[in-house]
Amino acid sequence: MAERPFAWEKSYPQGVRWDVAFKPATITDMFAASVAANGPRPAIEFRDQTIIYRDLGARVAGAAATLQRLGFGPGTSVALYLPNHPWHPIAFFGALQAGARVVHLSPLDAERTLRHKLTDSSARILVTVDIEPFVGMALKLMDAGVIDRVVACPDDAWGIGPEPATALPDRPGLSRFDAVAATADRWPLVKPDDIALLQYTGGTTGLPKGAMLSHGNLMAALQMYEAWYGGQGVVRRGAERVICALPLFHIYALTTILLKQISNGNEIMLRTRFDVAATLRDIEVKRATAFSGVPTMWIALANLPGIEARDFSSLQLCTSGGAPLPIEVQQRFERLTGHRLGGGWGMTETSPAGTLIPIFGPTKIGTVGMPLPGIEMDVVALDNPTHVLPPGETGEIRIKGPNVTRGYWGQPEASAEAFVDGRFLTGDVGYMDEDGFFFLVDRKKDLIISGGFNVYPAMIEQAIYEHTSVAEAVVVGIADDYRGEAAKAFVTLRPGAPTFSLDELRAFLAGKVGRHEMPAALEFRDSLPRTPVGKLSRLDLRNEERARQKQSSPAGERP
């Protein structure tokens, strides 16, 4: 690692310093301080109903007391299986206040993935809502003995939603949050080093691993964002109305929207899903001041007919994350609206602070920005992670900072392998230029990022192999105009086995993989390429697809 000043410091926006003193802190203390300071201010707007900070604090205290009374406090894991709904922040902050650690489950997860995360994390309680498919899956998991208790929250607590509530059976282990509300005289002591969150991410094996994120990791990330945005004069405490259509079970929305905006006393306009018309209404009518989205959202907005005539004057900040944003989309949106579309890079293991593009002034085409205050990054040789490369040379990106995970839950070997010389190996391939701007080139792992969600080829392959006609299967990512990437399955058949269509394959995979993991394309081969040691080669197939995409793109266009 180069000595200070780092290359990026000379490119920092005026007012931003790298050498910020980070204070050890906890999410529980942050939340309590914000509730005390912002009591009557709006915290969440949902279905045209407003929850003020004082009421949110009371709900969180009730949730924490409920979990304590049920026996879930320090040393336990509490799983949240929730859509974007006020019950998420209530249960999230409530679990932390009770001293427990949170495990996020995605509504997109297949049942087998849910089982793995629950078993791996030792979570024996699951918090969900009383609508399908959430409560049905929760009860199914309890029937299977994966969990001991389900707490169902009433979906209609803040207005009627589009899905009808499910009549809950009277049975042991099932209760409602509002039916078991309680109070506590005191709370357990929570320390910055305590694990706040097991946020599951994947690896080369395809099995999700629980990144251990402490209170200190997540609060350090908040302080980094504060130093970056505050230094550029764009932090307005108690004055922002921030659209949250990103899923709160994802680290991007959890940190940059929920934690960051609660910390600053702002209002979160919580939406169950992204809808172009609803988002424009939030901006034009409700006068939202900030919107963070994944590339698929910006693609939908940029391609909307008449977008150049819409009123974006209320927006102060537009950012994209979760996956690489196509340069053409960024430039089109900026040209049509007059707003800079910011972005950066981060990952689950970094809470997800990493790099950001300056809000004002010059930047560079294709960059993911520069490291945030307090973060050290370098690039090392792909075949030697101890050899640091000079600017301009491509290799694997490493990162170090108080926001970086200590490792993976219950996996000491994987945790040790993820660090070299005290720096986390990201698996992302890129380079840093002379000015300290970072650029991503590829991913070292076989991860597919589809619409901002991680898709792991090995998991899809495992499910495809269950089909009786399949001899061999390889899944790779292919370019997708809307999602950025999508999964494509290459299959060889067993002798005499019948073929099947893409729709038939997708029907077969229902319940085995998530909707975001469903293959978007299928190709049968007589044989599949192999490496010199005989392993099936994703690399060869991925290179074939890239060459095919390049040939099909008009001259001069980026494939």
Q: Are 516 and 108 in contact (CB under 8 A)?
A: yes
Residue 557's pLDDT is what? 35
Tokens representing 476 are 């790779």
Domain boundary among 209, 234, 264: 209
Which domain does 184 fall in, by range? 27-38+51-209
Q: How far apart are CA 367 and CA 437, in angstroms?
A: 6
Q: How far apart are CA 70 and CA 66, in angstroms?
A: 6
Q: How far apart are CA 273 and CA 279, in angstroms?
A: 10
Structural domain includes residue 370 = no
**Residue among 327, 315, 300 nearest 359 (CA):** 315
Structural domain includes residue 151 = yes
Print pLDDT tens along the chain (559 aa): 567 899 999 999 999 999 999 999 999 999 999 999 999 999 999 999 999 999 999 999 999 999 999 999 999 999 999 999 999 999 999 999 999 999 999 998 889 999 999 999 999 999 999 999 999 999 999 999 999 999 999 999 999 999 999 999 999 999 988 766 666 778 899 999 999 999 998 644 468 999 999 999 999 999 999 999 999 998 889 999 999 999 999 999 999 999 999 999 999 999 999 999 999 999 999 999 999 998 888 888 888 888 889 999 999 999 998 877 777 788 888 888 888 888 899 999 999 999 999 998 888 988 999 999 999 999 999 889 999 999 999 999 999 999 999 999 999 999 999 999 999 999 998 999 999 999 988 777 777 888 888 788 878 988 998 899 998 899 999 988 888 899 999 999 988 999 999 999 999 999 999 999 999 999 999 999 986 555 788 888 988 998 888 887 654 332 2
Q: Are 217 and 402 in contact (CB under 8 A)?
A: yes
Domain boundary among 170, 189, 209: 209
Structural domain includes residue 259 = no
Handedness of CA 538, 544, 548, 550 (dihedral sign): positive
Q: Are 123 and 78 in contact (CB under 8 A)?
A: yes
Structural domain includes residue 535 = yes
Structural domain includes residue 247 = no
Neighbour-count burial of 363, counting CB atoms closer than 10 A to its CB (0-12 exposed, 13-18 middle, 19+ buried):
middle
CATH code assigned at 452 = 3.30.300.30
Q: Are 407 and 415 in contact (CB under 8 A)?
A: yes
pTM of the shown model: 0.86
Q: Residues 365, 370, 374, CA angle at the centre, nearest 5°? A: 170
Structural domain includes residue 303 = no
Distances, alpha carbon 351 to alpha carbons 252, 313, 406, in Å: 8, 31, 11
Q: Residues 491, 494, 496, CA angle at the centre, nearest 5°? A: 125
Neighbour-count burial of 280, counting CB atoms closer than 10 A to its CB (0-12 exposed, 13-18 middle, 19+ buried):
middle
Structural domain includes residue 204 = yes
User: Domain tally for the chain?
Assistant: 2
Residue 206's pLDDT is what? 60
Residue 530's pLDDT is what? 81
Q: Are 226 and 32 in contact (CB under 8 A)?
A: no
CATH code assigned at 136 = 3.40.50.980
Contacts for 423 with CB less than 8 Å, ≥ 6 apart: 1, 376, 378, 398, 399, 400
Residue 447's pLDDT is what? 78
Which own/partner pairs from 119-123 qualify as long-range (CB within 8 Å, at least 24 positions apart)? Answer: 119/146, 120/208, 120/210, 120/409, 120/410, 121/77, 121/79, 121/198, 121/210, 121/409, 122/76, 122/77, 123/76, 123/77, 123/78, 123/79, 123/147
Structural domain includes residue 399 = no
Residue 89's pLDDT is what? 98
Residue 204's pLDDT is what? 43
Domain boundary among 193, 209, 225: 209
Q: Are 382 and 393 in contact (CB under 8 A)?
A: no
